[in-house]
Amino acid sequence: MSLYSKRGVSAQKEEVHEAVKKLDQGLFPHAFCKIYPDYLGGDDAWVNVMHADGAGTKSILAYLYWKETGDISVWKGIAQDAVVMNLDDLLCVGIYDNIVFNSTIDRNKNLIPGTVLEQVINGTQELFDTLKTFGVNIHYLGGETADVGDVVRTVAVNGTMTVRWPKSKIISNDKIAAGDVIVGFASYGQSSYESSYNSGIGSNGLTSARHDALSKYYAEHFKESYDNNLPEEVVYIGKDKLTDDYPLGGEAYTSVGNLILSPTRTYAPLLKQLLEDHFDKIHGLIHCSGGGQTKCMKYLPGNFKIIKDNLFDAPPVFELLQKNSGASLKEMFEVFNMGCRLELYCPPEAAATMIAAARQLNIDAQVIGRVEAAAQKELVIQYKGEEIRY
C-alpha cells in the first residue's frame, strides 16, 4: 500500500467516482466538467455549468506557516488556490468569462480568527481584480462562512463557480484523435502576471507533500494539523521545517514553505487568448490536477494510447518530495503534476502557435507527447530513461 493510501487519501478518488456513477453525466461525458442544458435561461444554444472545488489540505500548510512565522499574508495564496482549482477546470471546457463565484469557508473559530478570514476574502477579490485586467471577469457574490470546530480541525477553503455559456464554444474533448500532439504548459517558473517564482506544486497531493517533506516537529507541536488516528510512520516523515532554505539551482534559494505553498498558477490569461483566437484548433484540454499526469485517461473519447515522452524536467519541489518520501516515479506521476499542469490536444501544425502564445506570457511550453490509435486506453510515460505504463 502506498504512503498516500495509508494516509487515508486517494489520488484517483475511486470511491468518489463509484458513489457518483449513477448521476447524470451531462451533455458531454468526456468534457472536463459536467455540462448541462440551459436550465437557467431555457435556450438550447446555451449550457449551464456549476463547479465546486477548493484548496484541499493546503490550508493546513498555510496554518503551520502562519503559526511558525506570523506571516498572515500566506492565507491570500490559499484564496488563490481555491479559486484557481475551480477556474482552471472551467477553462478546460472553454469557459473564461462572466463567471459567478461563491466561497465556502469552514473554520474552527478557536484556532482561526477573523483576521485570517479577512485575508482569504480580500485575497479572493484581489485575484479577481487582477484577472479582470486580462478580460476574465469573475463576479464575487459572497458565500458561506461557518464555525464548525467539531467537524474541521483548522480551516477548509472552498468555492463554487457558476456560468451560462454558448454551447458552440464548449471544448468537449470529443475531437481528440489519433495523430494529435499534446502541448504541455509548465506549472512552475514566473509568468508575466505572477509576482514571484512559482514552484508548480498546485493544490493536489498536498497531504503527501506535507507529511513527506516536513519533520516530526510538526506532529509534536501541532497535533491539530493531522488525523491523530494515522500510524506514526506516515505522519511528518521528512527532514525539513517550513523556514529551511532549499536550492532552486545555481545560487538561487527559497524556503521549503515557499515551495510547497506556492499559489496555484492560473492559465486564464493564456487560455482566454487561445480560446478566442484558435478555438477550432483545440481538440481537448486537460487540467492535470488530482491524478497528476494520469488525469487524461479519464477524459479520452475513445481507445487511444497516450505517449508522453518529452515532459519537462520536474522542478525542485517534486525532487524535494520524492527525496523525502522515497516514492517511485510511477507514484509521483500519479499524485503530482510534476511540472506540467495543463495539456492541450491539437493537430501537429497548430502546436507552434500554442507554444508561442504561452511564451509571450513567460510560461514555458512544449510538445510533451502524442495520441495514437489503440485497442484499449493506455498511457505510457517515458522519463529520464524509465518507461512507466498505466
In this predicted structure, what is the pLDDT of residue 25? 83
Half-sphere exposure of 369 (CA within 13 A, CB side): 25
In this predicted structure, what is the pLDDT of residue 127? 98
Q: Give 386's contacts (C-beta < 8 A, 6+ positions apart).
A: 329
Closest CA to 25 of 15, 14, 16, 36: 36
pLDDT of 5 over the 70 cut: no
In the chain, where do the E strands start and end?
36-37, 46-54, 99-107, 138-147, 155-166, 181-186, 245-249, 252-255, 284-287, 304-308, 340-346, 365-373, 378-383, 386-389
Q: Is 356 exposed, middle or buried (0-12, 13-18, 19+ CB in 10 A)?
A: exposed
Query: CA angle at residue 64 from 60 to 68, to 5 degrees?
Result: 170
pLDDT digits (tens, 9 = 90+) for 122-143: 999 999 999 999 999 999 999 9
pLDDT of 251 over the 90 cut: no
Across the chain, mean pLDDT equals: 95
Q: Give 137's contacts (C-beta < 8 A, 6+ positions apart).
A: 97, 98, 99, 131
In this predicted structure, what is the pLDDT of residue 15? 67
Segment (H or E) for 3: helix 3-6
Cell, residue 327: 516514492
Count of C-beta atoms within a 10 Å radius of residue 142? 9
Residue with cell 517534486: 318
pLDDT of 40 over the 70 cut: yes
pLDDT digits (tens, 9 = 90+) for 102-119: 999 999 999 999 999 999
Closest CA to 105 of 91, 94, 119: 119
pLDDT confidence of 365, banded at 50, 70, 90? very high
Contact of 387 with 330, CB cutoff 8 Å: no
Helix axes 74-91, 268-277, angle to 10 degrees: 20
In this predicted structure, what is the pLDDT of residue 22? 74
Low-confidence winner among 9-18, 65-74, 205-214, 342-351 (lowest mean pLDDT)? 9-18
pLDDT of 13 over the 60 cut: no
> Which 3 state secondary structure label does DSSP give 41?
coil
> What pTM, to 2 d.p., does this model score?
0.94
pLDDT digits (tens, 9 = 90+) for 299-323: 999 999 999 999 999 999 999 999 9
Low-confidence winner among 178-182, 230-234, 300-304 (lowest mean pLDDT)? 230-234
Domains of the chain: 3-195+262-389 (3.30.1330.10)
